[in-house]
Amino acid sequence: MTKRKFGLAMSLVLAAGTMLAACGSDNKDNAGEKPATGDSGEKGGFSLAMVTDVGGIDDKSFNQSAWKGVKEFGEDQGWEKGTGGYDYLQSTGPEDYTTNLNNLARRDFNLIYGVGFLMEDAIEDIAAQQKDTQFSIIDGEVDAPNVASILFKEQEGGYLAGVAAGLMTKSDKVGFIGGMDNPVIERFEAGFLEGVKAVKPEIKVDSKYVGAFDKAELGKAEAGRMYSSGVDIIFHAAGGTGNGVFSEAKERKQADKDAYVWVIGVDSDQYEEGKVGDDNVTLTSMLKRVDVAVKDIADLSMNGNFPGGETKVYGLQDDGLGLADSRGAIPQDVLDQIDEYAQKIANGEIEVPEFVEKKK
């Protein structure tokens, strides 16, 4: 059997087809199930939509990846954006979550995604009121028959980011910048710390949570502090706040072409965010394939097999995580080492912890 490759190259060939979807021939009476009976736009046809969190649809990260999945699924069916096809509503603050979810339910979308754990309460409330509508919460769990919960093993992707940082640092000082301190972001951090430690235990990791996913200025300030202290690679898991990390790195690279400053992006391939003229400060990006999960749940739902009341967890073995193409920033010998670690995680030889071990 040919050895499976899981590293940077792996992420380029991921497709929704790798997710197994059950045949829609079985008719079940489970609550929350609403099989499609016609084409988009026709009465009784299937349609899907999503509500963003405060990061917005173009956060270059989590929301954007979710929208990519919704949009691609709709386009694959030949649907158009709007009622009866696929759509989204953007939240400017937590107060918008319930209103946006309810608005989409009233527009008769069959499947509605809530992006982010902050939407758990809103989805729980609306799902109880709109029992004939299917909902899916990304990065959260809601126990309801018409809600499918989606989680990821972020620690596994974070581990690969840590291996990359540990093998590429010159100063033996790397950084982690998180948005809000919660279990999801802690999984990113825990994996990153373990990955760095696996390749070089003496490397110092500077970790900081800035308390927001939509404050680029906070990310920029924290990145400035870290780079000034000698950190040369920063992995961010901060949504739109991470845009500030890129801004700081790019400013330093622009001021000094030889500056060794790097950013490891998150969720989506953030290569474009790192461009500085002919240079680029994006080392790689930890891909959290929200788009793959979104299309998987949509396919199940459209075929009458909506996993209501269940939690689906996507990991490295499920092609739900990976690293983006480094475009030559990482040499091949390092890529090969990253692939070896990825293989060990996928086959269970390495079990990455979900939580950061607190210092006594």
Q: Domain check: are 135 and 249 in the same one?
A: no
Note whether residue 341 is domain-resident: yes
Closest to 36 measured CA to CA, from 304, 307, 306: 304
Total domains in the fold of the chain: 2
Residue 183 structural domain: 154-288+324-346
Same domain, 279 and 297: no
Structural domain contains residue 356? no
4 in a structural domain: no
List residues bridging with 264 in a β-sheet.
235, 284
**Whether residues 271 and 190 fall in one domain:** yes
Residues 168, 197 within the same domain: yes
Same domain for 283 and 293, yes or no, is no
Kindly report the CATH number assigned to the domain that includes residue 252: 3.40.50.2300
Does one domain contain both 209 and 342? yes
For 72-131, how does the pLDDT look when each residue is reduced to its tens digit (9 = 90+)?
999 999 999 999 999 999 999 999 999 999 999 999 999 999 999 999 999 999 999 999
Q: Are 274 and 265 in contact (CB under 8 A)?
A: yes
Tell me: do 279 and 217 sit in the same domain: yes
User: Are residues 77 and 165 part of one domain?
Assistant: no
Place of tokens 């075929």: 303
pLDDT in tens, 172-186: 999 999 999 999 999
Q: Give a yes or no: residue 300 inside a domain.
A: yes
Give CA–CA dist 219/225, Å, rounded. 10
The SS3 of residue 297 is: helix
Whether 331 maps to a domain, the answer reads: yes
Q: What is the CA radius of gyration of the chain?
A: 20
pLDDT tens for 316-338 read 998 899 999 999 999 999 999 99
Residue 37 lies in a domain: yes
What contacts 171, CB < 8 A, 6 or more positions away? 230, 231, 232, 260
Nearest-angstrom CA–CA distance, 267 and 285: 7
Q: Which residues lie closer than 8 Å to 118 by C-beta, 6 or more apart?
A: 53, 54, 94, 97, 140
Q: Is there a single domain that holds both residue 90 and residue 179?
A: no
Statement to judge: residues 158 and 251 lie in one domain: yes
* Same domain membership, residue 283 and residue 305: no
Q: 336 and 191, same structural domain?
A: yes
pLDDT at residue number 306: 98
Domain membership flag for residue 23: no
Question: Residue 12, Cβ neighbours under 10 Å: how many?
Answer: 11
Assign 358 a pLDDT band (cuts: 50, 70, 90). Answer: low
pTM, to two decimals = 0.83
Helix spans in 50-206 (H)? 62-76, 97-106, 120-129, 154-168, 183-199
- Of 52-61, 157-166, 192-201, 328-337, the one with minimum mean pLDDT is 52-61
